[in-house]
Amino acid sequence: MNVDAFVDEVLTELTTMAAERTRTTRSGSKPALAGATLRKAIMAVWCVCFCGMQWRAIGQLSGIPFGTLYTLFARWTRLGLWRRLLDRLRRTWRLACGDTAEPSTVVIDSRTCPSAPSCFARGVDGGKKIRGVKVHIAVEKYGIPLAIDAAPANVHDTKGIVPVLREIAGRGFQGPAIGDLRYRGQRLAKAGEALGITIQPIARGRDGVFIPTEIAWVVERSFGWLSRYRRLNTIVERTKEHLVAFIEIAFISILSRRLKRLVTQTAPA
């Protein structure tokens, strides 16, 4: 794992936000983190996501009080740092692949994760027999999310995906959204039509065998990537916003590593 690529991208975005006069650190008697200490704090946030470490444990290992680390993470989440950084990296990656900056088609799906009793929400997914949280997501053809939401696992996909559709519609997306047969129904179709989005449910399996139909399979790969980040395997977050933030951090880590590798490969010898 190339953590330095992740840290560099976060520092770049923090610099941009500072230029926009966004206060990324809380004012107080203590000086704000800077230099090597700030890099260590960003790396600690990544370790919480990838390694599934507790805030107190990473505070002991990094030498930075865990309250400071958590406060930084919560403040950056509230300011939208992870969302805007992920959007920038997604556009950069699409342009590097010779594509347009914004997609014309998205793929929608959900993933049920077990959650701790202290989690912000819990429900039972009757089909998968899991008590926890269901993550709803809309990705483009490279598997990078445009919008993420979470709900108790007992919320049906046709209801849980509506906030995701609203978010991508608010960002200007107008086009088809491909999903599996769970997204059938007139109610969801009408909700999508009101947002300018056409819901296209298609079969992705037959007789228990997965069929990689069109680009619908890319969302399964995205969930496979997320399973490598231990913080996202059993949900312990007390707020939905923090869960979404850790999902965004995971994809930022993936994209930053890809872009750094791409620059290295294209650099002149």
Amino acid present at 235:
I
Residue 33 DSSP code: P
With a cut of 60, say whether residue 269 has pLDDT above it.
Answer: no
User: pLDDT of 74-125, one tens digit each?
Assistant: 999 999 999 999 999 999 999 999 999 999 999 999 999 999 999 998 999 9
pLDDT in tens, 17-38: 999 988 887 776 678 888 999 9
pLDDT of residue 33: 87
pLDDT tens digits along 152-181: 999 999 999 999 999 999 999 999 999 998
Q: Give the Cβ contact number of residue 156 at 10 Å.
A: 14
Helix (H, G, I), strand (E, B) or coil at 127: coil
Count CA within 13 A, CB hemisphere, residue 64: 22
Q: Per-residue pLDDT for 207 more than 70? A: no
| Vertex 21 angle, CA 16 and 27, to 5° | 110
Predicted pLDDT at 165: 97
Q: Which amino acid is at 28?
A: G
Condensed to tens digits (0 to 9), the pLDDT of residues 222-264 reads: 999 999 999 999 999 999 999 999 999 999 999 999 999 887 7
The DSSP element (H or E) to which 137 belongs, if any, is strand 130-139
Q: Can you give the C-alpha Rg of the chain in angstroms? A: 19
Tokens of 240: 């939905």
Of residues 161 and 2, more confidence is placed in: 161
